[in-house]
Structure 1
């Protein structure tokens, strides 16, 4: 499988898992000039931006460790753009940034709510 198809499959696995946990999908792969957010979901009254990290040959700790402060800043910037485009009031909207780390096959999945 290619890296892109592995990533897409990982995003699908993450989405299905989060839906089983009670989150509702709003949008997949929201992108703008700044970057992309893998999943935008709703969890009760919280708008959740989800970064999905997939690695085929590494343990979950290593996958999580690969999320840099620069990536976190970029995701926050993309989220601000999303809020404007989708006409949310960013000062009145409850936000959360989650990470779903997936490694190996069969998949091992770890959900980190409010990761950054």
Structure 2
């Protein structure tokens, strides 16, 4: 399976996890120059810009540890662009989900992670 297919499956698992917890998925794979947001979801009056990190196994370390300062800047840039384009005037946060293994198990979800 290609890295793109693996990433897509991890994002599907993460989206299902969020929906089971009462989130509404607003958009997936939001892309603009120099930024990408894996999932944009809303719960209550807060929009979450979610980074999905997949690891084949625990041997690769935590997916959360793989979120670099560069990625955080890209996420923040993407969030600001989406907020401007959508005219959203409410609260928003950057969050992250770690997905692992061949069954795409959710290992953790950190709301307002950064």
TM-score by length of 1: 0.90
Q: CA RMSD in A?
A: 1.5
Distance 1:67 1:113, change over 3 A: same
Match of 1:96 in 2: 93
Structure 1 residue ranges without an equivalent (≥5): none
CA distance in 1, matches of 2:8, 2:100: 13
Contact 2:95 2:112 in 1 (8 A): yes
CA shift at 1:61, angstroms? Answer: 4.9
Q: What secondary structure does 1:101 align onto?
A: strand
TM-score by length of 2: 0.91
Contact 1:60 1:101 in 2 (8 A): no
> Among 100, 104, 107, which residue is 1:107 paired with?
104
CA shift at 1:9, angstroms? Answer: 0.4
CA distance in 2, matches of 1:75, 1:52: 11
CA shift at 1:8, angstroms? Answer: 0.1
Dislocated runs of 4+, deviation >4 Å:
none
Residue-pair matches, total: 113
Q: What secondary structure does 1:62 align onto?
A: coil
Structure 2 residue ranges without an equivalent (≥5): none
